[in-house]
């Protein structure tokens, strides 16, 4: 489940890259070629079309099928260029209120 910001749109933009938009307006391309051919991501080589990428409405993960998914929080942090610790320090009042 996304803890940071929920993704609202994702699409394949070719060559193992996705474009993603988050609810706060942050968007951008993420290159996933470093995952190709590794573990579960071997599915992209035939069993699962990379272009079938979508958002799981239950946990907000970036998914291709029931087994193949990527956490959207990590994608968000890559786009803003921050670690989770850096992001959390900026949003500490939000966590303190809960």
The predicted model gives 16-42 an average pLDDT of 94
Please tell me the distance from the alpha carbon of residue 68 to that of residue 80, in angstroms, as a whole number. Answer: 24
pTM of the full structure: 0.84
- Which pLDDT band, with edges at 50, 70 and 90, does 93 fall under? low
d(CA 12, CA 62): 11
Give residue 19's pLDDT band: very low, low, confident or very high (50, 70, 90): very high
pLDDT of residue 95: 52
How confident is residue 1, by pLDDT bands cut at 50, 70 and 90?
Answer: very low
pLDDT for res 97 = 47
CB atoms within 10 A of CB 62: 21
CATH class of 7-96: alpha beta
Between the CA atoms of 74, 76, 82 and 83, what dihedral angle is there, to the nearest 10 degrees?
-20
Query: Please, where are the H alpha helices in the chain?
Result: 72-80, 84-90, 92-96
Highest mean pLDDT pick, 23-32, 35-44, 61-70, 84-93: 23-32
């Amino acid at each position: 489940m996304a803890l940071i910001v929920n993704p609202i749109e994702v699409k394949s933009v070719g060559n193992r890259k996705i474009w993603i938009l988050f609810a706060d307006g942050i968007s951008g391309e993420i290159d996933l070629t470093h995952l190709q051919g590794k573990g579960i991501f071997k599915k992209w080589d035939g069993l699962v079309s990379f272009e079938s990428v979508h958002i799981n409405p239950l946990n907000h993960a970036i998914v291709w099928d029931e087994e193949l998914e990527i956490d959207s929080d990590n994608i968000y942090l890559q786009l803003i260029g921050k670690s989770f610790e850096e992001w959390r320090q900026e949003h500490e009042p939000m966590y303190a209120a809960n």
